[in-house]
Structure 1
Amino acid sequence: MIEAFIKGITLGLLLCIAVGPVLFSVIKHSINVGHRGGLAFVLGVSTSDTTLAFISNFFSQFFTSLSSHKVAISIVGSTFLIVLGIYYAFFKKIRIRDRIKRTPPVFRKRDYLQLFLSGFFLNTLNPGIFIFWLTASTTFITHTINERLVIFITALLIVLATDIAKVMLANKIRTRLTPRNIHLLNRINGFVLMCFGIALIIRLVI
């Protein structure tokens, strides 16, 4: 179980350092509508992640009947991680299009649900997030159900905790989102994905 816990931490960190629209939306909402509005948005994102992780694991169970191909399926998933890592490290470009207001507007309580749903659908409709969870589910298909629970619950908790930290530190994070730092984050994210995919393949074939 310790190994599963470590893999869950690694999986969570992989998603945390991914530079995408959710990161900028969390920061933008946190500054525009305050910490409470930012937390409502983050809870919507977290609910989406939990739903996508469950769906991905559910569909990956169809592969369990192909026991003789489990290693091959895991290698395919690991290879996809490597390809995704190459894309993040060398090809992915990020543009910050939304201007962030410096003075939060008057915020009404009834708008919390709207922010929650905004976070949920923004994350759910991002194909990269679904592919991420589906790839992770396929990659860990050789693990027991208990191990998979530990892996994914740990990953989801880490992502949620990190998103809450982003909300609380929104102003400081925003000042550091220079093009150079965004490019650096992309490259780090890509290299981590590549190393993780290679390590999984090595573990499978040895």
Structure 2
Amino acid sequence: MIEGIFVAISLGIMLAFTIGPVFFILIETSITKGIRSALAFDLGAISGDIFFILLAYWGTSKLSAYIENNPNLFLYGGLLIIIYGLFSYLKERKDFRKHPPQMHITTLEDKNYFTLFYKGFLLNIINVGVFAYWLATIAAFSSREGITPTEVLIFLGTILSTYLIVDIIKILIAKRLRHKLTPTNIHKIKQGINLFLVGFGIFLALSGIFPNFLHSVKALF
């Protein structure tokens, strides 16, 4: 089990640095809205992971087969992310033009933590790839000889705990970078993240339209 703990810590670190919508928006939230706002968003994203873990743990084999036989799930998730990215891009451009950048950056702490929590949760659960990750992780670890349900829960809890700790470190580092960024640069970062979301959504949608697309991309690396 000690070996499993080390594996779980490694997976938690890898998960925290996985390039996806949550990764970039977490950094952007920390810079523009502050530490507590970023933490609320992150807890929402982790709640999405817990939601997926519960579903995967409930019926790993059945759900895995369902996803493989229903690639449209990737298409729908991709379309939702594309819509979100485009909407955020247009809104940010409108707000930037309406309110000219100031000389100094002032972090506006968003007190509506529930909205940020929900935003993190929603962005995670519409990404079917996250669900596939937890399905594969649970299936791989629970299939090992002699593994008990308690050990599986400890393994998953260690991954999530490591993930949260690393995310907190990222939030603190991003917060310190705020003083080195101008409002114009922050605007560019936000728009870059929004464009990334659109691109990520297109990639996810293509995985649904062409079921073998994702496997073909992986084969190139």
Q: Which residue of 2 aligns with 1:116?
A: 117
Structure 1 residue 61: deviation in Å? 6.7
Equivalence for 2:168: 164
Count of aligned pairs: 145
Superposed counterparts of 1:188-199, under 5 Å:
none
Sort the Cα spacing of 1:144 and 1:21 in 2 relative to 1 into closer, same or farther, 3 A.
Answer: same
Unpaired runs of 5+ residues, structure 2, are 65-87, 181-188, 190-221
**TM-score computed with the length of structure 2 as normaliser:** 0.57
Q: Return the offset for 1:103.
A: 2.7
Matched, 1:40 2:40: yes
Other-structure match for 2:105 = 103
- Could you tell me how far 1:172 is from its partner in structure 2? 5.5
Q: TM-score, normalised by structure 1?
A: 0.60
Structure 1 pair 120–173 and aligned structure 2 pair: CA distance change class (3 A):
farther
1:117 deviates by 0.4
Percent identity over the alignment? 33
Distance in 2 between residues matched to 1:12 and 1:58, nearest whole Å: 21
Quick one: structure 1 residues 11 and 24, their matched pair in 2 at CA, closer, same or farther if it must change by over 3 Å?
A: same
Counterparts of 1:147 and 1:166, CA distance in 2: 29
Query: 5 Å matches for 1:73-152?
Result: 103-104=105-106, 106-109=108-111, 111-142=112-143, 143-152=147-156
**Structure 2 Cα separation of the partners of residues 8 and 41 of structure 1:** 23
User: What's the counterpart of residue 197 of structure 1?
Assistant: none
- 1:118 maps to a residue whose letter is K
Give the CA RMSD over aligned residues. Answer: 3.2
What one-letter code is carried by the residue in structure 2 that aligns with 1:169? I
Partners of 1:123 and 1:173 lie apart in 2 by: 25
Structure 1 residue 106 displacement after superposition: 3.7
Structure 1 residue ranges without an equivalent (≥5)? 64-72, 74-96, 178-206
Distance 1:148 1:173, change over 3 A: farther
Cα 1:4–1:61, aligned 2, differ >3 Å: closer, same or farther?
farther
Measured after TM superposition, the shift of residue 21 of structure 1 is: 1.3
Q: Distance in 1 between matches of 2:52 and 2:105?
A: 34
In structure 1, what residue type is equivalent to 2:139? T
Q: 1:30 to 1:136 in 2, by over 3 A?
A: same
* 1:155 correspondence with 2:156: no
SS in 2 for 1:18: coil
Distance in 1 between the 2:155 and 2:36 partners?
A: 29
Q: In 2, distance between residues paired with 1:14 and 1:42?
A: 16
Q: CA deviation at 1:18?
A: 1.1
Q: CA deviation at 1:26?
A: 0.2
Shift of 1:153: 0.5
1:116 is displaced (CA, Å) by 0.7
Report how far residue 34 of structure 1 moved: 0.9
